[in-house]
Chains A and B, each alone.
Chain A
């Protein structure tokens, strides 16, 4: 991610004069090599542009009179446009479903089975919810020739992808990314009023994204959702990433319209970066800041010393160069650990608004271990040499295809309640033994869960097909 060119990049809206064919979004990232195609795609470029645009808007502003305008949660300085208020309505209607679907009180291992019901209700109402809260002319946009689908199909895909997995009973950064894409898609469809840079962006972050994150936290607590792909203490956070980006921007030095976002420093009266270990400061700051809001949630759900259950955030809190430095690092890290990770982005569907087509301006695909192959490669044979450097993971042989990670057969297996998922597990759509295979995934953020490890070589959740027919198979010796 290459922040801030000379001019502020803004996600381009569709030209309403030109015919546009909408496409029912489909998954395109089938194996880990496809991630480099994604990183050179128009969709990637649009996602990065949108996130940087939102990020920049959250930096405090230098006003012409020399004062500084900050953008805390709940500030009167940010007005919500009608479309933003409609999105807030949408979130509150989704929250209502939680009341309708109380958590199951029966025996369970970890994730609450009622979340599946919650998800079903959401899916059944998705169309009417979108109709209620988004303008019909936006949803019904379609190619004049009638080709393709309506815009609704694309919006619906990202909308439904934003709420965790009803099957796996988990939630992670892939779902968070889907919600950003939902907002980005509305943006591209010209769903927000034209205004000065930052006005709608700030309304989206403070008025929609933070309430979305709060709603997700409610879901996580109510249905004890597992963190998708948790690294335990060795990840940034169990579930979320963007609040650490936008929250650190809120506390960074103020910028002028023409300024680049700063490389370091903090807003003068910002809390110390080390304050995340002080529960009283966290309690105070979480009301106004997205970073501390996310830290506060960690305190809500975790017991134990902060430095022990969140060592990465603890180490980051030792950065002396301020919130600007943290913000830059978070963006780089998001690019490497979310956007470049097969287990996260494999679920992202591509249509016309977020297109898998190659971006003609894309740089040559990055080839570092952080971006393409990820931290860990295929199993290294015993006595294989050490990783090339202390920070590089043993990388996989790019030429070899593994026969295991095929798309699994059948779809009848229950979800992994509280289990580790194999990071290599493939999609659970039907397929027979010998179906196209994928390389074991190498990424650090697999869609597994805290309670449950998933196989790193799994695409989504299907295992290698059992012998015989798909679905429930009998042991070879059983009749």
Chain B
């Protein structure tokens, strides 16, 4: 068993590894991360996770519900640290897994992966308390600077394989169509389906060009959406599920899914622009990199000021246009507590995934992870196109009919906070200076 495997075993048991080992781990992680682009390409199948915030036992619950590494591919959208008691154990475990299984786990940066934020919101205190000095905090912050800013999930299937609920049919099926495609499915932590939505199966998609880039962006990129013949989306109310009711010739390929911690930026109109950022720095207070990690979607039009004091609010029109221009079917992001663990907005154009149940021991929320399956029709392989896949190229379908991307099938696994009664009481630590 290698040192790394031993470290993984130790961290899985919620026991810290020695400082020297952390240093070595962080060095290796940096070597690995520096090779990644700002936007990492990830092939489906993959399980997308939101904020963790040092809730180690809940992270273990997440792995129990979602499958272990490396059996399941994971994409964590940042905010590993701060606020919770076990930011160190959580982040170091994820980092070990990244170094051990680099192709199986992707870590992108959240707004809390920052020197300034961690000194305010707890991770710095935790490092001092658990290691007695700021060394480990510094090693971790150096890793933060190398984390990717986003990921592009490619080759996700538009349709889910239905989950067998083992006779426990508690499904609220909103649209049990005979010939429908299973579009979304929500499962509880026991693996029981609690909700599913369908969309009408596409017809004759094969006689249209299978060129995945054959989608229709507006010719004039400044044109308002809606002038571009974008199809009207319909779907089960409340799910944000989308469906295409016109049945016209369209490709039924799913577009890529962009994953970022926060959201969009007024300075970023294409995924390629993200690639141009010099990311290896502390998160700036403004600018594109800051926005990607800090912004929030909101029920507004256009852009708005963020009450957070960093990043922006952006409305459904912004998401629609961004997805359209970039051939995306979905933006997945984290960053905001949602009581139900996930929340789709803007006709399913964006989803918030939150993976810290009963946040801060008191919020009473459930957590969720989002599984995207692989598109088997393509033989399960997707060209590693470094994000070229699904990108708009300004070409309208040959027959002049707008072909379009279809959102991927989405399986949400919802889970609750891990049981807490088995944790023994530790020795009290020396108190802060005020009390000496």
Contact = CB atoms under 8 A, between A and B. Distances in A.
Interface of A: 108-110, 167-168, 224, 227, 230-235, 238, 277, 301-305, 307-309, 311-312, 314-319, 325-326, 328-330, 332-333, 336, 375-383, 386-387, 390-391, 393-394, 402, 404-405, 408-410, 412-416, 418-426, 428, 440, 443-444, 446, 448, 450-467, 470-479
Given A418-B336, A440-B116, A457-B285, A466 B359 contact: no
A446 B433 CA distance: 21
B112 A475 contact: no
B122 A233 contact: yes
A391 B160 CA distance: 52
Interface of B: 53-54, 82-85, 111-112, 114-122, 124-126, 128-129, 132-135, 138, 141-142, 145, 221-224, 266-267, 269, 280-286, 294, 296, 298, 300-313, 317-318, 321, 335-339, 343, 358-363, 365, 417, 420, 423, 425-426, 428-436
Contacts of B269: 475-477
Contact of B128 (A232, A391, A479): A391
Contact of B266 (A422, A452, A475): A475
Contacts of A315: 428-432
Contacts of A414: 298, 300, 304, 307, 313
Given A305-B425, A315-B429, A418-B336, A412 B303 contact: no
26 contacts: A232-B360, A233-B83, A301-B362, A305-B420, A309-B85, A316-B431, A325-B435, A329-B432, A329-B435, A376-B116, A376-B124, A378-B116, A379-B282, A391-B433, A410-B305, A418-B336, A419-B337, A420-B117, A422-B285, A451-B337, A453-B111, A453-B121, A453-B308, A461-B307, A463-B307, A463-B311
Given A231-B122, A333-B432, A413-B313, A377 B308 contact: no
B129 to A, nearest CB: 8
Given A315-B432, A457-B285, A477-B221, 7 more contacts: A110-B339, A231-B120, A463-B311, A466-B312, A475-B302, A476-B267, A478-B321
Contacts of B141: 380, 382
A416 B311 CA distance: 12
B305 A412 contact: yes
A418 B267 CA distance: 25
A465 B358 CA distance: 34
A232 B285 contact: no
Contacts of A387: 134
- Of A238, A418, A428, most buried by chain B (CB within 10 Å of CB) is A418
Given A302-B361, A316-B431, A336-B434, A375 B425 contact: no
B308 A454 contact: yes
Given A234-B83, A305-B420, A386-B134, A471 B222 contact: no
A478 B269 CA distance: 9
Given A394-B119, A455-B285, A329 B308 contact: no
Given A416-B307, A455-B285, A234 B116 contact: no
Most buried by B among A230, A409, A452, A472: A472
A234 B429 CA distance: 13
Contact of B82 (A167, A302, A394, A453): A453
A314 to B, nearest CB: 6
B320 to A, nearest CB: 11
A452 B308 contact: yes
A382 B308 contact: no
B116 A474 contact: no
A315 to B, nearest CB: 5
Contact of B309 (A380, A421, A476): A421
B143 to A, nearest CB: 10
Contacts of A238: 360, 362
Contact of A412 (B304, B309, B338, B429): B304
Contacts of B296: 416, 419
Q: Which of B128, B365, B431 has the most CB of A within 10 A?
A: B431
B16 to A, nearest CB: 15
A382 B142 CA distance: 6
Contact of B117 (A330, A380, A383, A453): A453
B357 to A, nearest CB: 10
A381 B309 contact: no
B237 to A, nearest CB: 13
A421 B426 CA distance: 32
Contacts of B121: 230-232, 234, 420, 448, 453
Contact of B294 (A402, A455, A460, A471): A455
A463 to B, nearest CB: 5
Contact of A478 (B83, B122, B302, B337): B302
Given A234-B83, A413-B304, A471-B304, A422 B420 contact: no
A167 B125 contact: no
A304 B285 contact: no
Contacts of A405: 285, 309
Given A233-B85, A416-B306, A109 B337 contact: yes
Nearest to A233: B85
Nearest to A165: B307
Given A231-B120, A336-B434, A475-B303, A458 B310 contact: yes
Contacts of A224: 363
Contacts of A311: 85, 129, 429
B32 to A, nearest CB: 17
Nearest to B359: A451
A464 to B, nearest CB: 4
A182 B310 CA distance: 32
Contacts of B286: 404, 463-464
A423 B117 CA distance: 8
